[in-house]
Amino acid sequence: MKTTSAPHIPLAERMRPETLDDYVGQEHLVGEGRFLRQILAGGRLPSLLFWGPPGSGKTSMASLLARATDSNFVFFSAVLSGVKEIRDIVDRARLLRNTEQRSTILFVDEIHRFNKGQQDAFLPHVESGLLTLIGATTENPSFAINPPLLSRCQVLVLHALSPAHIKTVLQRAMESARGLGAQGLAISAEALDFLANAADGDCRRGLNFLENAALLTLERKGQGGAALAIDLHAAREAVQERTLRYDADGEEHYNLISALHKSLRDSDPDAAVYWLGRMLSAGEDPLYIARRMIRFASEDVGNADPQALQIALNCREAYHLLGSPEGELALYQAAVYLATAPKSNAVYALTYKVQADIRRTGSLPVPMHIRNAPTRLMKDLGYGQGYQYAHDNRDALVSQEHLPPELAGTIYYEPTRRGYEALVGERLRKWRQILRERTRHDKKST
């Protein structure tokens, strides 16, 4: 790749690494003494399948391997190409081998999109060594790749990049002549952190965000602005992070449903039925009210009275069956039940904690020991290794972590001491105490 800014080429393409030492991430494959380093030192590249999420570096890794082995590198898209193109590639590969003693690496992007017949077309040429196949897939090879082809390839698992990895790539793009180095731009630490986290492990997405943020910043300069630094505002605008808009039309409609909801929450059945009657008299859709009470049953009653959700669902079904005016009685019955039920927003509150952690940490991988392993490949990769089956243990309790390591020990659900949830809370406290004592006992035994 030439070291030129080539602004007409997307930044993500311009910033592909030129040497294996420039490659960011996947240290388990490209680090010193690791698999890819070793096979390159040996001078012969086997057929490979790169399995990883979008933007994890599969295409970049394939092109670097081809360059390191001085091979003829052929990019082949499973979306755009077919068997006819394979025949042309085979003929060209045979010619190069016979005339120049050059091997051919065939990189097949999204190889999982090929059907069985198309995948079978590779087999004889991979088996004979005419082609070294490197396939890239976001799908599990156990299910997406034909067993005969899979058996002839080494599967390498690529992981989503960490925010630190993506920050490194973005900073390089800011400084490199191939990237934005000639634009005279800087970037604030806050903007860099925001873009790295917003990429959610996808390097290509992060570079696209950065390129858009740079364009927005340069446009401000063209309009007379003095700032030449990508700030947090430009970064947010580039990502197009939107919040839901509130529709102010029909204010009285929202005032009334708010009054009903708060009356139910504050355990005031008299006010609840009044506001319900007001809405029905004004011509509000009764099924809309029923839907709001279903939501309320989870949001404000929750597991303090699990029956509340069933009552609300039955209310909607009853009205749907009977219609007005007979079915409206079910709405009043549900409103009284919800208003007089014990209250808990523990489930509602935990959703915010969960979503906050997801936004903060991105797509954390599932711990290996609780992954399913229906195929030999997945077992060989360590899927399910060390899993403890609860029913084989005393009290059906096991001391094993089910959250990703970055969130280990986090407690999201904190039951109240109201209604049925008080029993749930006591049960959880008892279970945790049993596990703590069991752990202490195991440590003493060892």
Domain boundaries of the chain, sorted by first residue: 26-157, 163-239, 251-340
Q: Using only the alpha carbons of the chain, give its radius of gyration.
A: 30
Cα 386–Cα 387–Cα 391 angle in degrees, nearest 5: 135
Q: Both tokens of residue 282?
A: 């004004």
Q: Which residues contact 407 (CB under 8 A, 6 or more apart)?
A: 357, 361, 364
Question: What pLDDT, on a 0 to 100 scale, did the predictor assign at position 366?
Answer: 93
| CA distance linking residue 442 with residue 446, whole number of Å | 6
Instruction: Tell me the one-letter amino acid at 67.
Output: R
Are 178 and 4 in contact by the 8 Å Cβ rule? The answer is yes
Instruction: Decide which of 3.30.390.30, 3.40.1800.10, 3.30.365.10, 3.40.50.300 is the CATH code for 26-157.
Output: 3.40.50.300
Neighbours of 323 (CB within 10 A): 11
Q: Both tokens of residue 357?
A: 């952690």
For 251-340, CATH number?
A: 1.20.272.10
DSSP reduced 3-state for 139: coil
The b-or-e profile of 386-406 (16+ CB within 10 A means b, else e) is ebeeeeeeeeeebeeeeeeee
Q: Both tokens of residue 231?
A: 């700030």
| CA distance linking residue 79 with residue 65, whole number of Å | 23
Q: Both tokens of residue 149?
A: 């082809």
DSSP reduced 3-state for 401: coil
Instruction: Tell me the one-letter amino acid at 364.
Output: L
Question: What pLDDT, on a 0 to 100 scale, did the predictor assign at position 248?
Answer: 33
Q: What torsion do the CA atoms of 360, 361, 366, 369 make, to the nearest 10 degrees?
A: -110
Q: Both tokens of residue 22?
A: 């420039």
Closest CA to 60 of 101, 112, 108, 17: 17
Element (H, E) at 186: strand 186-187
| CA distance linking residue 328 with residue 320, whole number of Å | 10
Question: What pLDDT, on a 0 to 100 scale, did the predictor assign at position 369?
Answer: 94
> In which residue are the tokens 């360059």 written?
67
CATH architecture, range 163-239: Orthogonal Bundle (1.10)
Q: According to the 3-state scheme, what is the secondary structure of 255-313?
A: HHHHHHHHHHHCCCHHHHHHHHHHHHHCCCCHHHHHHHHHHHHHHHHHHHCCHHHHHHH
| CA distance linking residue 268 with residue 339, whole number of Å | 6
Residue 72's DSSP bridge partners are 104
Question: What pLDDT, on a 0 to 100 scale, did the predictor assign at position 247?
Answer: 35
The dihedral built from the CA positions of residue 432, 435, 439 and 444, taken in this order, carries a sign that is positive
DSSP assigned state of 9: S
Q: What is the secondary structure of 342-390 as a DSSP string?
A: ----HHHHHHHHHHHHHHHH-SPPPPGGGS---SHHHHHTTTTTT---G
Burial class (CB in 10 A: 0-12, 13-18, 19+), 168: middle
Q: What is the secondary structure of 237-249 as a DSSP string?
A: HHHT---PPP--S
Task: Estimate the crossing angle of helix 203-222 against helix 232-239, to 10 degrees.
Answer: 120
Per-residue tens of pLDDT for the chain, all 446 residues: 344 456 678 999 999 998 888 899 999 999 888 998 888 877 778 899 999 989 999 999 988 888 887 778 888 877 666 667 788 888 888 888 888 888 888 888 888 888 887 888 888 888 888 888 999 998 889 888 999 999 999 999 999 999 999 999 999 999 998 899 888 889 999 999 999 999 989 999 999 999 999 998 888 765 554 558 899 999 999 998 543 332 334 567 888 899 999 999 999 999 999 999 988 988 888 999 999 999 999 999 999 999 999 999 999 999 999 998 999 999 999 999 999 999 999 999 999 999 999 999 998 999 999 999 999 999 999 999 999 999 998 889 998 999 999 999 999 999 999 999 999 999 999 999 998 888 887 777 76
